[in-house]
């Protein structure tokens, strides 16, 4: 099993969810996060004072899939989240040693 963490722009969330649903991935966790990288920040004006917004709002998705689904999942996220502009996001893949469904005690992919 693998855990895919994808950091995307907030307005792309519905597109990514639909793309994942089309390939049979139905479960995910979406977390509102803030971050910065090459996109940097921007300057805003508030009550006559300028200030720099360093951290920009993003959505982090956490998805656990079987090893055979990883490539399709990454492709779906990439196609749905890409705008072609800086700040589209990143995808990270890590190994999952074990998964257990609390309610039933199921293990492995059955728990996902």
Compute the C-alpha angle 17/7/26, nearest 5°: 25
Global pTM reads 0.84
What local confidence, expressed as pLDDT, does residue 39 receive? 63
Residue 63 has pLDDT above 90, yes or no: yes
Instruction: Note down the domain range covering 56.
Output: 2-111
Which residues, other chains included, contact 40 with Cβ-Cβ below 8 Å and sequence gap of 6+? 54
Residue 95 has pLDDT above 70, yes or no: yes
What local confidence, expressed as pLDDT, does residue 51 receive? 65
What local confidence, expressed as pLDDT, does residue 64 receive? 97
- Residues 52-70 have a mean pLDDT of 90
Task: Report the domain count for the chain.
Answer: 1
Residue for token pair 């990514």: 16
The model's pLDDT over 25-52, given as tens digits with 9 standing for 90+, comes to: 989 999 999 887 776 666 666 677 766 6
Specify whether the CB–CB gap between 53 and 44 falls below 8 A.
yes
- Residues 54-75 have a mean pLDDT of 94
CATH of the domain at 61: 3.30.70.120
Pairing, β 42-46 against β 89-95: unpaired
How far is it, in rounded angstroms, from Cα 14 to Cα 98? 29
Nearest-CA neighbor of 56 among 81, 80, 38? 38
H or E element in which residue 76 lies:
helix 70-81
């Amino acid at each position: 099993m693998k855990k895919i963490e994808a950091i995307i722009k907030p307005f792309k969330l519905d597109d990514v969810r639909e793309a994942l649903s089309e390939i049979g991935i139905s479960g995910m966790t979406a977390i509102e996060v803030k971050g910065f990288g090459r996109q940097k920040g921007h300057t805003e004006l508030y009550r006559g004072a300028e200030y720099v917004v360093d951290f920009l709002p993003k959505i982090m998705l956490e998805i656990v899939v079987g090893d055979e689904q990883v490539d399709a999942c990454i492709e779906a996220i990439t196609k749905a989240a890409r705008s072609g502009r800086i700040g589209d996001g990143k995808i990270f893949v890590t190994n999952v040693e074990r998964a257990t469904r609390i309610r039933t005690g199921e293990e492995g992919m059955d728990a996902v």
